[in-house]
Amino acid sequence: MLDKTILVVEDDADLQEILRLTFTKEGFRVVIAKDGVQALELAQRHDPDLVILDLMLPKLDGVEVCRRLREEPAFKRLPILMLTAKGEESDVVLGLGVGADDYMLKPARPREMVARVRNLLRRTTKDDPVVTEQLIHAGPMAIDPVRFEVRIGERRVQLTPTEFKLLQTLAGRPGRVFRRGELIDYTIGAGAIVDERNIDTHVKSVRKKLGPEGELVETVRGVGYRFSDGPLPEPAATPSKPAARARKPGKSRR
């Protein structure tokens, strides 16, 4: 992990210093941004290997920073770890939905954060033992690991790196049930200190982005998830309206 640059985007001075000291001690180069606008400027200047991004920031919030980074081809696969002081699921889903790979709730514990960062970086530089670079087809959906792209017909589906890895893992072995712990290992990294509900949040986001094809990602209650090895269920038929009754010929009204 030597010579890796981490961009820390945080407006709290005390937390800035804690993160700077923690990651510098671990051998990382650390760049600090105090607001969202500065974060985008420093990302272009330093080309970081990973971003630790606070959700609540002055000038430009973390969600918008994440969205703009993902719009840049150079940052398409950049690992982003989002920090949030809010525990509501909606805030977490929002962050993951615009491109964050992982999240942590404040107050952040330095040792846990280092473990998360190392796993995110390792995942982007090491091949996964389960998935391959083979193109995967499922009905109208095509998953291309080489181009890092998912298409459904002509529609291109925007997935975060973690979401892509999750879908690729499941779709690469249709019918095979993956436990949540396995999916954490394959998508976030072996040994990651992550609550298993983290995977549930990523699955929810993937299903939403896929649309009707999201039904192919099936929940196996009490175990985990699998990718269906059968066709998509037919949409429910819309009841047809009764045909208008023909009017009998008769005298016209005046």
Q: Same domain for 60 and 151?
A: no
Question: Are 113 and 204 in the same domain?
Answer: no
Residue 251: inside a domain, yes or no?
no
CATH of the domain at 88: 3.40.50.2300
> What residue numbers bound the domain in which 70 lies?
5-125
Number of domains observed in the structure of the chain? 2
Final residue in a domain of this structure, among 81, 100, 125: 125
Residues 20 and 97 in one domain: yes
Instruction: Tell me, yes or no, if the pTM score tops 0.85.
Output: no
Each residue's pLDDT, cut to its tens digit, for the chain (254 residues) gives 557 899 999 999 999 999 999 999 888 999 999 999 999 999 998 989 999 999 889 999 888 999 899 888 778 888 999 888 766 566 677 777 778 888 888 887 888 888 888 888 876 654 444 445 678 888 889 998 878 889 999 899 988 888 888 898 898 888 888 888 778 777 766 455 556 677 888 899 999 999 999 999 999 988 889 998 766 555 544 455 555 454 555 544 44
Q: How far apart, in whole angstroms, are the C-alpha atoms of residue 139 and residue 159?
A: 19
